Amino acid sequence: MSDIAIFGGKPLRAEPFPEWPRSTEIILDKVSYTLQNDTWGVGSNVINEFNSRFADFQNAKYSISVHSGTSALWVALKAAGVKAGDEVIIPAYTFIATATAVILANAVPVFADIDLNSGNIDPVKVDLLITKKTKAIIPVHIAGNPADMRGLTNISEEHGIPIIEDAAQAHGAEYNGTKVGAIGLGGIFSFQTSKNMTAGEGGAIVTNDSEFFDACFSYHNCGRVRNGKWYEHHRLGSNLRMSALNAAVLIPQLDTLATDMIIRDRNRGMLDTSLSEIPGINPMVSMDGSRSANHLYMCRYDASEFNGISRETFFKVMQAEGIYTYKGYSPLYQEPLFITDPDEYPWLKDRDYQALELPNTERFANQEAVWLKQTYLLGNYDDTKDIIRTFEKVTSAMQKEPQRFLELKFK
């Protein structure tokens, strides 16, 4: 047991994984060209170029770039017709922005439980939550793994409720051979620092629906309408436009993302194959016919296979070996935000989010979910083998001498 790092042994991994974000000469050249030759904001040819190319990349007719994924969600909800007091069904396991965008639209987040095998929203649970007030459904392609869009589309068509895809982590992901984002009425993407395409900050909305596109344009551009007068405002929109410099950073990444996705596919495949051989470590499942963007690597930890050793102890032992594993999201409805102040959010005054109990979400978030950083999926063969060897080393030691691990105490 002396070779286990947390007990004084040598860590298995000491080298860093690939850095992110990643600057290239092509990105620097595009930014320099934009600074010297283009308008930096409204009227920018570079912004137009990005919108056109990103729409093509995501198999969509239209794309509008905005300054964040959160803003993209708000714009999409308003463009879909969501009004004050309307209900929007979202997964209980996602980043906070999925919910805050709903509240910013003066609407009510309704939390649906997830499927444990994929981590994505469960269409069966969604169907049970439909009411006369439901005006949109937001599936999140968690970690870049496409949600069950067939099941959700059936619900959408049956009830006449639009789907807004939260594809913030799913650049290039595919469902049945079609890129995600424009499978529903529309979808949003994020270009925040950690994302597979990044400009530091930024977002985009894609769609195949021209009326929805026109409404998105208006909400993101101070209520103006396309081809209208500059000082003519039809909606309560805001200035949520992307800078030309962000677009310049993103355009070259449309040419490198395909290669990055192949690397991510390979590394995810290696991890899935090897980790599935370890009792108590269960890789996440993707829908048949889909391709994940593999933004993150997630798997499930079953403490019963490790003599009750907690997931948090497992994290500490893995981290000591040089592989950073962590829990990720908490159940979203348990965030302090949802202990709501009726003076600030009067449309939520009858909602008791603290009383919610969604067993799959709570089990996944509080006991089982294991995350690896997104840069880990960009490593080479040896990097990925180090991750596998660390999982094997730690889990084997925990199974052989569980008592030593059970006695570990952390602040």
DSSP string, 97-158: HHHHHHHHTT-EEEEE-B-TTT-SB-HHHHHHH--TTEEEE--B-GGG----HHHHHHHHHH
For residue 253, give both structure tokens.
């990444």
Produce one character per residue of 268-297: b if its CB has 16 or more CB atoms within 10 Å, e if not. Answer: beebeebbeebebbbbbebbeebbbbbbbb
Is the separation of the CB atoms in 330 and 365 below 8 Å? yes
Among candidates 293, 76, 298, 296, which has minimal Cα distance to 171? 293
| Three-class DSSP labels, 235-296 | CCCCECECCHHHHHHHCCHHHHHHHHHHHHHHHHHHHHHHHCCCCCEEECCCCCCEECCCCC
Residues 353, 350: Cα–Cα separation, whole Å? 9
Could you give the domains of the chain? 5-20+256-406 (3.90.1150.10), 25-254 (3.40.640.10)
Residues 206, 52: Cα–Cα separation, whole Å? 10
- Please state the pTM of the whole predicted model: 0.97
The predicted-structure confidence for 210-251, as pLDDT tens digits, reads as follows: 999 999 999 999 999 998 898 999 999 999 999 999 999 999
Per-residue pLDDT of the chain (411 residues; tens, 9 = 90+): 569 999 999 999 999 999 999 999 999 999 999 999 999 999 999 999 999 999 999 999 999 999 999 999 999 999 999 999 999 999 999 999 999 999 999 999 999 999 999 999 999 999 999 999 999 999 999 999 999 999 999 999 999 999 999 999 999 999 999 999 999 999 999 999 999 999 999 999 999 999 999 999 999 999 999 988 989 999 999 999 999 999 999 999 999 999 999 999 999 999 999 999 999 999 999 999 999 999 999 999 999 999 999 999 999 999 999 999 999 999 999 999 887 778 889 999 889 999 999 999 999 999 999 999 999 999 999 999 999 999 999 999 999 999 999 999 887
